[in-house]
Structure 1
């Protein structure tokens, strides 16, 4: 069924109008201010529309979701209530991020349904939602296999399978699950595979599952990071690191920061240290309950937290737009981890800074990575720490609202309630995020108590809501 990938030599379009996309997709792209395709999008979209299998390699932040999402959305039959496209990704965050992006791109496609399935979420609720089948499903491998095994998803009408972040899927041990999923799918289908790196295990996956694939590469001729990214290294003792981190976070230019540690225990210790010094910091790791992970990410996105201390569960798939700074508190073992950490900032052409706090041994280890050549190394200069204190309260507050998508509540509905019921000026309504059964709203801290009082017990879309402060 397979063959070695064939390199792409076809000239690539330089604007979205030349990609052959339908008018509703072009309208959504214009509204999103996507004016020019990225390298991976310009190469992939025409090939997918032509029915080619693809083995694509592109770094983090290259626009892969739109590269495969746009042609998939163009080709699904919106009048057919059947799963026609399956997208596999390694983590829940990537599932939700991918669904949101596909919905934005397909905003003007009537009857489009995109479903997100992942572990830790109610299986019975997912099965119930499949009574009206979505055309596109994005899922983690384990949960998709459960649906196929229990026949809550019957893929008889499947047109295309997408395996995204293939290197990460294999690193997490999904080889057997992937094989079992593919066995349950129609043999006549289009298959697209994307990976940041192409080790032998990924190439073996390509050979076994793709038919005469076209090889697509974007910005991977050499290991690279965005040109707009500044790499700074600070060398000192392990004992100097906490104070060095604290003072980095105090700099105005640091802004919102993602701080990477190698272990869950170190993340929790470091977050406690920062909070004790008055820094609004949250923690993120894989052992946290999902609502707590959602809350931590939300606080970083809306400015309620200035630092998120995370393990590498956050290195891929964390959706934090305009992230100013990444700080690697501990050196990673592998070059691709270094790349994915640093690549969380300076995305889509924006400027960003990635710091590394390293002992001499860690510096020597990282300097073996070709990717680390641009790092500007200096000796760590550490000022004295202030005494421990209570955490300073951020200027905004996040409110939890007990209504969400399943209650037919939208961000527009919540803005209306904030303005008309709570009496908040439209410009004071901050970031709103709507989930299935609840929503989050950000407002200036001084308005929080009044909004709580006025909104609690109010009705939005006929549902009586409860409102509480997220702490």
Structure 2
């Protein structure tokens, strides 16, 4: 079996891989890394979960000269969540490269925040095309020292209409560069993108996303008139086995309308859609991840690339138009060997449409029966956890370990009572038991972490 050390990776990268418990390269990593290290262009067909981020990430990190204050690597991705996910993965892989700077640029928050961060030029930029083009036009990023361009999830970049932006961005990059492209499918549009922008690429085929869903996923469908859907959804959310749920709608307006309905009926529900500012999206995801929200109502675009661990249930409130959307939604649960359930609430017309897809063959359908909605529905149990906002983050040199220590020493909590923690650049979120939340806020506010007083408040 090939090991990472056999691939010629530098000791700092091997040290990070060992810390991350990456024991052996996946097939796509074993193929891509030697080609990429040799400076060749690569066109890879790689399904979700194949390890492609580490495949290109390890290769480009090895070539970075951290002594130079220049942008050397550009990764273009279709969605903000994927930009953050790739940025974090590259930071972890490059943890032992001294002074490595990796940043993510995406729409949904103020441009000035990103411009401020460019006072120190990042070595690696992970970006959505629209926001990167903004930077290029303002000349806040000058890519004249770029070594490698990576087009990640190329099929999604094209599907979401970024073709014109890609053409404009690539025109502004140095011609002498390495280019790598990865896509779950190789449509004619993707092949045209490869022909236009890659030079004698080495082709890697690690398979494609299949029409199969995890064996440990149960597919359930309910059929009835559209007016019965709200009661059926509420009934599902009141079942103990439903647990944490991700609910899909087809439009932003439907997301907002449905979340208002659920909150009015006592369900701790959050919204996620493409027009929300990034801090609000971060907060909504955090509350689902740490158990201080029971349900997240989302559109497909906003949920692209989400990987929420311990997600018990997916509910497709609106039936999707395409089979791959159905698969993407249902596959958000039952990940990494866990057990999960995916429901779809459908009108008879929607059922006829969905049943044509091979991926939906195993749905167990039944007639939609749910208790009629009373004027004031019984409230669902409130989540056990509450999310607290802490006014210090990564830029203040604060770590999750620091936060646990502070909440134990000053907040009076047992170590195991401190829940899920996420640290962002300028703030952090910490989950604590609901019954202790107000007391913890009072105790911890004013405490010092790394010599700086912090403020703590409940996230509403």
User: Pick from 402, 415, 423: which aligns with 1:413?
Assistant: 402
User: Pick from 323, 327, 350: which aligns with 2:311?
Assistant: 323
Partner in structure 1 of residue 91 of structure 2: 103
CA displacement at 1:91 relative to structure 2 = 1.9
CA displacement at 1:390 relative to structure 2 = 4.9
C-alpha separation in 2, matches of 1:338 and 1:214: 32
**Does the 8 Å contact 1:397/1:469 carry over to 2?**
yes
The answer to whether residue 84 in structure 2 is matched with residue 93 in structure 1 is no
Q: Report the TM-score when normalising by structure 2.
A: 0.92
Partner-residue secondary structure (3-state), 2:365? strand
Partner-residue secondary structure (3-state), 1:77? coil
Partner in structure 2 of residue 167 of structure 1: 155
The answer to whether residue 18 in structure 2 is matched with residue 30 in structure 1 is yes
Q: 1:42 to 1:336 in 2, by over 3 A?
A: farther
C-alpha separation in 2, matches of 1:105 and 1:363: 45
**Does the 8 Å contact 1:275/1:391 carry over to 2?**
no
The answer to whether residue 456 in structure 2 is matched with residue 467 in structure 1 is yes
Q: 1:174 to 1:430 in 2, by over 3 A?
A: same
Q: Give unmatched runs, 5+ long, in structure 2.
A: none
Q: 1:429 to 1:66 in 2, by over 3 A?
A: same
Partner in structure 2 of residue 4 of structure 1: none
Partner in structure 1 of residue 434 of structure 2: 445
Q: Report the TM-score when normalising by structure 1.
A: 0.90
Partner in structure 1 of residue 361 of structure 2: 373
Partner in structure 2 of residue 347 of structure 1: 335
Partner in structure 2 of residue 121 of structure 1: 109
Q: 1:237 to 1:14 in 2, by over 3 A?
A: farther
Partner in structure 2 of residue 287 of structure 1: 275
C-alpha separation in 1, matches of 2:14 and 2:342: 35
CA displacement at 1:383 relative to structure 2 = 4.4
CA displacement at 1:420 relative to structure 2 = 2.1
**Aligned residues: CA RMSD:** 2.3
The answer to whether residue 180 in structure 2 is matched with residue 195 in structure 1 is no
**Does the 8 Å contact 1:60/1:340 carry over to 2?**
no
Partner in structure 1 of residue 135 of structure 2: 147
Partner-residue secondary structure (3-state), 1:230? strand
Partner in structure 2 of residue 262 of structure 1: 250
Partner in structure 2 of residue 246 of structure 1: 234
User: Pick from 155, 178, 197: which aligns with 1:209?
Assistant: 197
Q: 1:349 to 1:75 in 2, by over 3 A?
A: farther
Partner in structure 2 of residue 428 of structure 1: 417
C-alpha separation in 2, matches of 1:369 and 1:134: 45
Which 10-residue stretch deviates more, 80-89 or 333-342?
A: 333-342
Partner-residue secondary structure (3-state), 1:397? strand
Number of matched pairs: 459
CA displacement at 1:154 relative to structure 2 = 2.3
CA displacement at 1:453 relative to structure 2 = 0.7
CA displacement at 1:18 relative to structure 2 = 4.4
User: Pick from 152, 167, 174: which aligns with 1:179?
Assistant: 167
Partner in structure 2 of residue 67 of structure 1: 55
CA displacement at 1:384 relative to structure 2 = 4.9
Partner in structure 2 of residue 53 of structure 1: 41
